[in-house]
Structures are given as structure tokens and as C-alpha cells.
Structure 1
Amino acid sequence: MPMAKPGPDQIRALRAETPKTRARDFATQLGISEADLVAAHLGHGATAIEADPDRLIPWAGRLGDVMALTRNEHCVHERRGHYSDYRTGAFAAMVLDPEIDLRIFAKHWVHAFAVEEPGEDGPKRSLQVFDAAGDAVHKIWLKPESKGELFADLIANMRLPVQEPSLALAPRAVVEPARELAAGAPALRDAWDAMTDTHQFLGLVKEHKMNRLGAYRVAGAPYVRRLAPEAVTLVLQGAAEQKVPVMIFVGNPGCIQIHGGLIERIVPMGPWINVMDPRFNLHLRADRLAEVYLVWKPTRTGDVYSVEGFAPDGELILQIFGYRKNTPPEPWIALTAALPRLEEVTA
């Protein structure tokens, strides 16, 4: 018989005993969602606010220079910048700041909180958004340079009339495994050749009754080439050493966050490979990379190559592209062409 979920008082008491454990890890240890953990602190530093990005993101834009954080189970993407140039949309909303670049899928923005907690250098303030299962979708962390004096105004304008410390959560959605159809490979390749924009790809594979990973498994060269898992670390190191600008996409069902530009400082720490730059951090569990592919897509403006990593359950962990704005493609193409192929390593 499963253990009953601890109540808010018990969650706060247990949290007070281990305040330095990362919130996500603490929630997992306790058998609750991270949203449960935050909701237990309503009236104790947390306030439930509207989760609608059309309301929340413009308010975040008033806070000035902040840190945006989007993650999945295996990778964390942190980017400093401003929430400027917000564009709503029926399918996806966007933030198109030169530094904070987001694709937002509003149906997954279900629970949101404004959180203030004690820190070694003063109060730590954040906005935290969760999906229907209580998993983190996106977080916004205020920094010393942020306009912290506006945080109270945000809460006053976004606060929900009912502050409920016990959430009714839905079951977590299962990651779709690879959906591949070997017999459909010739038709898939013909459609692939006819692409003119990378955004056509997901519709294309769906039309052929596959998903991204399934299509990669059956397409074969020159469309995809299976890489050794260490290729992701090598491409990050190579981009930093050779000063090749990149675009790094990390996401979950509710948000995709993109870094565009150079990366500089690559720091391995145990199973983690990290980018530790002043305005951009990436934390990737390299040991979770079960399948890695070099993917080619034709577009009307030239060939596009990406390095894409998947978890054992088929979840897309991250994608790395060459940076295309006013940047020659040849250095990125050369860098990716030198990455170790899986068949070479196994041979």
C-alpha cells in the first residue's frame, strides 16, 4: 500500500531539517512533486499566482535582468537576460530577447508561485511554474541586479484569491518511446529531401506515423548518423576551444529554452558536463545520453546540422545547432563531421 502524502506542516518541518538539499531532490526523496513542496510553503514565503504566461511574462519583463531556468530530468539550462519581446500565440508563445529565448506551451503552465526564501546574501526571490503533475516547467530567479522592489507589486497583481496548500495533481505523462516504421523509410526520405524549413520536421514524421527518435532510427545516412555518446561533450568542448557559436536547446513539454552564441568554460564534474559562463550555464548528465545523432536537414537557406541526445526512455535531452545569424556554417559543419561515429567506436 503506497504511503500517504505528507501534509504541508510535515513537509515544511522536514524541509527545515535539510534546507540545502536541492528542492527537486528533496521532493523526490519525500515522494512528492516539487510543486507540492512549494505549495506547502504558502503563507510561509510562497504565494500562489496566475500561471497564464500572457500575464506572468510581461510582469517578469518589468523585473529587469534576471535568470531564466528550464530543465528536464537530465539537463538544466540557465540564462541571464531580460524577458523582452514577448509574443503570444495559439500554439506557442515566445520570448525573443537577445539573451532569453523561449518557446512557451501554455497548456502545461498549470501551477505558479512567487517564492521568497532566506539566503546567505539576503532574500532569494523567484517565480516558479509547474505542470499538471507538479513538475517544474520554468523558473525565473531574481538577481542582485534585478528590480526586486517590484516583486511585491507582481504578487499583489498576480495573487490567486484562494491559496490552497494541498494540490490536486494529475499523473505524470509517460515519455513516448521511439515510434519507428522501417517499411516507411523510403517515403520518409523522399519527404525529408523536400523540406525547406526545419520547423516542418515534426509534422513530416507525424505524417509518416513516426516520432523524432523513430525517424532517426530508420532514416539512415546521409539524413542521420549515430554518434558515440561522448560526442556531446566533445562538441561542447570543440565549440568552446574553436570559438564556434552554437544554439543549445533544452526543454520539457511546457517550455524550450535556447542559448545562442559562444560558449567558453566547459567544466566536467563527475557524471555532469557543465558550461559555466557568466551569463549562461548548462548542466548535463552525460551518463544519461543513451542515443546521440548527427542530423542533417535541408532548408531554403542552406543545410542545417544538429547534434541531438536522447535518454534511455526516448526523451529528447538537448539539441545543439550551429549559430546561423551572420555566421558562416563551415566551422560548425567541420566540427560535427569530426565527431566519433558509434560504428567507429564499437569497431
Structure 2
Amino acid sequence: MSAPSPEQIRAARAAEPKMRARDLAQSLGIAEADICAALVGTEATRIAAHPDGLMPRLTAFGPLMALTRNDSCVIEKVGVYDDYRPGPHAALMVNDTIDLRIFPGHWVHAFAMDEAGPNGPRRSVQVFDAAGDAVHKIYLREGSDAAQWEPFVAALRLEDQGQVLALQSRTPPEVAKANPDRAEELRQGWDDMTDTHQFMRLTSRLKMNRLGAYRIAGAPYVRRLAPKSVETLMHAAAGSGVPLMFFVGNRGMIEIHTGPITRVVEMGPWINVLDPGFDLHLRMDHIAEIYAVVKNTQRGPAHSVEFFDAQGMLIAQIFGVLRAGEEAVAGWNALVAALPGLEPVEA
């Protein structure tokens, strides 16, 4: 069966105007970026995707909504895109509200979307990877400076305004990679860590990945947690006022929330944080494995709860905030310690 034409995509979208683009794309057997491309010339403009050109230009808008997602979790933060720090392999934006880890190699296609809405234009910047899957989206809000929109689009507009994209096949999820013969090396390297970022280098050197290492490390490094532990933790955190850090990402972006959470609501398969300036939506039924993890840092042990889907993909991580002080850290560590454990999975 051939892929639908831009005309057919537009017709399908018109027939289901309330359907989310991600769901419409799935129903049509196409990538989400294909929908944006089909709207080029009317509601979309193709723009340069590289964050070095895009991100600094967002500051002029004032407050915006930052959205990052994977198949199981969505994070939304409201703030100003300020203090961009470029890097060839990893770039950063770090301020009080917008905290991003950006991987430019996956920023391949981008669109400035100017869609009609019931309350006026709905403007957004949407970035996709080589397969056409969403990496990051930025939405203008009521408080945004809409006068910046046309200059922004003009500055980044590509000469190619075609309605068909050349997309690559999706990279399949990496299954858990453990190397039990090197488990002692893993534990020794774990003991020697002084920063959580050293963990990925350690596992790479030992021919493992995150989930594979967690399955074989054992105590005191890792404790597998019982089902529903994430929901239990989120409700407990909301009742405690303890600050935490949510890390939610995909191959091209990690978005971070730091601070306490207050309103946690379960709706169907979703558990949601619905706080001013911060929303999080997590599919509880996608969580297959959950781990409490301890890694050494120069500020002391960093305790996290990390959870994976059935394909072995990392859904999200929740950390305590070491810089928040001893009382906050002790409160977070107590929440994690109270979560029920589960027998470890054989690698």
C-alpha cells in the first residue's frame, strides 16, 4: 500500500479535526512530520531545524510552552527560552524553568505551524528526527510576544517548501544488554563514579546499556521495585512538598522539571501532574520495570527511580534535588526507601 499523498493527508485531517497529530499519523501509517509537511504553504512553513539557529531566537517571544515526549510520557513546562549553550554533540538550555539537554544530530526537520483555532491562531515550532518522530515542540501562549512570529519564521525559512519529506526508517529500540561476566567490573566502576554522567561511559566500556546493567548490579546499587511504585511515589511526593527532578526525553531531547509537585491526578491509564507551569502525563500501563538506583556524586549519593517499557526503553527518571539541602535530600531518600521491592530479573 502506497503512502497517502499530501492531499489525502489534508483530507484525513479535515475529517478528524480534533484528533491529535500523533494519533492521526498512526492511523494513516505515516510519521507525524508528514502531517506538518502536507500543510506547508497553508498552515506550515519549513524552517531550519538546527538548535543553534532556532533556540536563541526563541528568547524574544517571552514565555512559551516547552513540550517533549516519548511513547509513554509527556512533559510540558512554561518559561522563557534563555541561556542557550551550544555544543556539537550535546547542547543545553538551563534557567529557572526551561531546562533542556539537546542532541542536535537528531534535529532534522522543523516546521513553524500557524494553525487556525477557536480562539485565534495556534502557533508552534515543531522539530522532528530523521524518521519524522517528534523531538520537541514549542507553543506560543497568551503572554508570548506574537509580533516576533513573522520575523522568526522569515529568519529560519528554508528555500525548500516541498510537501513531501525524505524520511529514514525508525531505529528499533535497544534491548537490555547485560554482561554478567563483567558484573564485578561494573560494581567497581560504580563505586569509583563521582558524577552520574559517568555511568553511560562505564556501561559502554563494559558492552552493556542502562537496563542491562541495572538487571545485574544488585544491592546496594540497584533495587528492583514492585509494580505501581511510580504512582505511589508521585502521590507521596505531592503530599510531602519534597522537591524532585523529572527527566523525560527521546533520542533528540531531554526536558527536566525541578521542584515540588502538588496536584497528581489519575485518569484512565494516565497519571498526571497538573501544576501551574508544569504538566506531566505518564502512561501507567506502559511501565514494565522499575528500579531504585544509587550513584555517587561529589555532592553525595544521588537516589533515583527509573522506569522502562516492555521494549526496554527508558520512559523517565525521577531524582531528588541534591542542591536543595540535607532536609530535602533526606525527605526524598525516605520516599524512595519506603517503596516496596521486587525480586531481581535474571539477565
TM-score, with structure 2 as normaliser: 0.97
Q: Secondary structure at the match of 1:146?
A: coil
Is 1:151 aligned to residue 135 of structure 2?
no
Partner of 1:330: 330
Once the two structures are superposed, residues 260-309 of structure 1 have per-residue CA deviations (whole angstroms, 9 ceiling, x without a partner) of 01111001001100001110000000110000000011122101100001
Could you tell me how far apart the structure 1 residues matched to 2:172 and 2:82 are? 33
Q: Tell whether the 8 Å contact from 2:89 to 2:105 is kept in structure 1 after alignment.
A: no
C-alpha distance in 2, partners of 1:255/1:203?
Answer: 19
Which one of 174, 177, 185 corresponds to residue 176 of structure 1?
Answer: 174
Distance 1:171 1:14 in 2: 23
| 3-state SS of 1:201 partner | helix
Contact 2:243/2:324 (<8 A) preserved: no
Q: Is 1:161 matched up with 2:159?
A: yes
Q: Give the letter for the 1:221 counterpart.
A: A
What is the aligned partner in structure 2 of residue 232 from structure 1? 230
Which digits, 9 at most, give the CA deviation of each residue in 1:101-155, with x for residues without a partner? 0000000000000001111211100000000000000000000001111111111
Distance 1:125 1:41 in 2: 13
Distance 2:270 2:13 in 1: 26
**Structure 2 equivalent of residue 278 of structure 1:** 276
Distance 2:298 2:111 in 1: 43
| Of 308, 314, 317, the match for 2:315 | 317
CA distance in 1, matches of 2:48, 2:183: 45
Write the distance in 1 (CA, Å) between the matches of 2:74 and 2:227.
Answer: 18
65, 69, 72: which one aligns with 1:71: 69
User: Which residue identity does 2:252 align to in structure 1?
Assistant: G
State the match for 2:23 in structure 1.
25
Question: Which whole-Å deviations, capped at 9, do the CAs of 1:71-96 have from their partners, x for residues lacking one?
Answer: 00110010000110100012200000
Match of 1:39 among 37, 40, 50: 37
1:89 counterpart residue number = 87
Whether the 8 Å contact between 2:47 and 2:158 is mirrored in structure 1 is yes
Query: Aligned with 2:163: secondary structure?
Result: coil
Identity %: 55
**1:95 maps to amino acid:** M
One-letter amino acid of the structure 2 residue matched with residue 37 of structure 1: I
Question: In the TM superposition, what is the alpha-carbon distance from 1:229 to its structure 2 partner?
Answer: 2.6
Provide the C-alpha distance between the structure 2 equivalents of 1:79 and 1:111, rounded to a whole number of angstroms.
22
Comparing 115-124 and 302-311, the one that deviates more: 115-124
Which whole-Å CA distance do the structure 1 matches of 2:325 and 2:75 have between them? 23
Root-mean-square deviation (Å):
1.0
Query: Once the two structures are superposed, what CA deviation does each residue of 1:28-66 show, in whole Å capped at 9, x if it has no partner?
Result: 001110000000000111000000100000111111100
SS at match of 1:341: coil
Could you tell me which residue of structure 2 aligns to residue 54 of structure 1? 52
Distance 2:119 2:342 in 1: 47
Q: Which residue of 1 aligns with 2:127?
A: 129
> Secondary structure in 1 aligned to 2:261?
coil
SS of equivalent to 2:234: helix
Counterpart in 1 of 2:195?
197
Runs of 4+ displaced beyond 6 Å: none
Return the letter of the residue paired with 1:198: T
The residue type equivalent to 1:238 in the other structure is: A
Matching residue's letter, 1:340: P
User: In structure 2, what residue type is equivalent to 1:8?
Assistant: P
How far does residue 342 in structure 1 lie from its aligned partner after superposition?
1.9
Note the residue ranges of structure 1 that are not aligned, 5 or more in a row.
none
After superposition, give the CA deviation of every residue in 1:225-257 in whole Å (9 maximum; x if it has no partner): 000131111111111100010000000000000
Aligned to 2:5: 7
> Which residue in 2 is equivalent to 1:120?
118
Cα distance in 2 for partners of 1:91, 1:311 equals: 26
Query: Structure 2: how far apart are the matches of 1:281 and 1:140?
Result: 14
Q: Which of 289, 297, 303 is the matching residue for 1:299?
A: 297
1:194-273 matches, within 5 Å, as 194-273=192-271
Deviates most, 295-304 or 250-259:
295-304
Q: Distance in 1 between matches of 2:51 and 2:342?
A: 41
